[in-house]
Amino acid sequence: MSHDHSRFDSETWTVPGPDHEFQFPEFMPGLVWLVGAGPGDPGLVTVHALNALRQADIVVHDALVNSQILGWCKPGARIVYSGKRGGKPSPQQTDISQQLIAFSRQERRVVRLKGGDPFVFGRGAEEVLALLEAGVPVRATAGVTAGIAGLASVGIPVTWRETNQTVTFLTGHDQSGSEPQSINWKGIAAGSQVIVLYMAMKNLDTICQRLVAAGRSPDEAVAIVTNATLPQETALETTLQNAAADAARYRLVAPAIICVGPNVSLHRRIGMLTHSSASRHGGPAPSLTTSIWLGG
Ligand code: SAH
């Protein structure tokens, strides 16, 4: 039997023996380890994050962290919540950094756990810089970001050779909560085939209008995925001109990842999806994913 080894070389694989065993990094007391919790599904937590959580004395976590993941902490570990709650303003960034510095000085092993990837619209860098300035040892490990995993979860690849060679990640609001002023909409509309939006539900109408004004077609496909990778995940396909109205009609709320671009339609081919609007609107309970695919 002949194999095309340029395409598929599984025959050459060997199982790593004891010499190749992966050494988990040691978690020294006093270290603050910044790790991502992924988008929600506990299976999307990295092995580094799991290792860190299992050893941590203190875990300081944000709002968008699935509490199931905290169940992996060792007994007696202290869990500190540092996100928004009940509409109250979030703690000041400096307060969180000061708290992390104080825990480090008590010689604790501190995990700073943030949703998704800590360095993607997550203010991870601000915290690392504050810690380093205070002389605190820090380690930062990437996580699985919602903008990629949330799309994959509903059968939308963030890139596909036939549709896009570029992708832009964009935040739907700036520090003041309004639509970011610094964005070059014309540049993005012309230069990026696929646009992935975080935190964009509040300003969705304005953002879609900006993209159309900057040259994108009002009929261009848009996917909105809320609670991606979680049992209550919901996905909707719409268009730039209808996105805001459809989001309101189906009462879609944050957290949501929004994707604009030709790759959206691939969910029909890749789709491990429940193509059912009935389940969310009075029909039988959804099995795992409830999708309201209006497009096509
Ligand atoms: N650092 C995170 C993003 C933090 S900003 C990451 O890398 O994923 C918070 C935004 O992330 C939310 O407003 C939403 O746009 C997105 N988000 C996070 N978790 C999500 C989820 N499970 N489903 C959909 N969107 C999610």
User: What is the pLDDT, as a whole number, of residue 2?
Assistant: 45
**Which has more pLDDT, 199 or 1?**
199
Active site residue 57: no
* Per-residue model confidence as pLDDT tens digits over 23-80: 888 899 999 999 999 999 999 999 999 999 999 999 999 998 999 999 999 999 999 9
**Which has more pLDDT, 275 or 147?**
147
User: What is the pLDDT, as a whole number, of residue 182?
Assistant: 87
Q: Is the pLDDT of residue 256 over 80?
A: yes
Instruction: Spell out the domain ranges in the chain.
Output: 22-140, 146-293
Q: What is the CATH number of domain 22-140?
A: 3.40.1010.10
> Residue 40: CB within 6 Å of ligand 1?
yes
Q: What is the CATH number of domain 146-293?
A: 3.30.950.10
Contact 226, 254 (CB under 8 A): yes
Instruction: Check if 22-140 and 146-293 are the same fold.
Output: no
| Substitution candidate for ligand 1 out of 121, 126, 224, 233 with most atoms within 8 A of CB | 121
Contact 32, 131 (CB under 8 A): yes
Q: What are the phi and psi torsion angles at 94 (to 5°)? A: -65, -35
CA distances from 107 to 31, 38, 72, 117, 225 (A): 8, 27, 21, 26, 41
User: Exposed e or buried b for every residue in 188-211, given b needs 16+ CB within 10 A?
Assistant: bbeebbbbbbbbbbebbeebbbbb
User: Over the chain, what is the mean pLDDT?
Assistant: 87
* Per-residue model confidence as pLDDT tens digits over 166-189: 999 999 987 777 888 889 999 999
- In which band, very low, low, confident or very high, does the pLDDT at 81 lie, cut at 50, 70 and 90? very high
Contact 123, 36 (CB under 8 A): no
| The two structure tokens encoding residue 139 | 């380690």
CA gap 131, 113 in Å, rounded:
15
Catalytic residue among 84, 95, 219, 272: 84
Q: What are the phi and psi torsion angles at 24 (to 5°)? A: -70, 140
* Per-residue model confidence as pLDDT tens digits over 200-239: 999 999 999 999 999 999 999 999 999 999 999 999 999 9
Q: Which atom of ligand 1 is nearest to the CA of 225?
A: 24
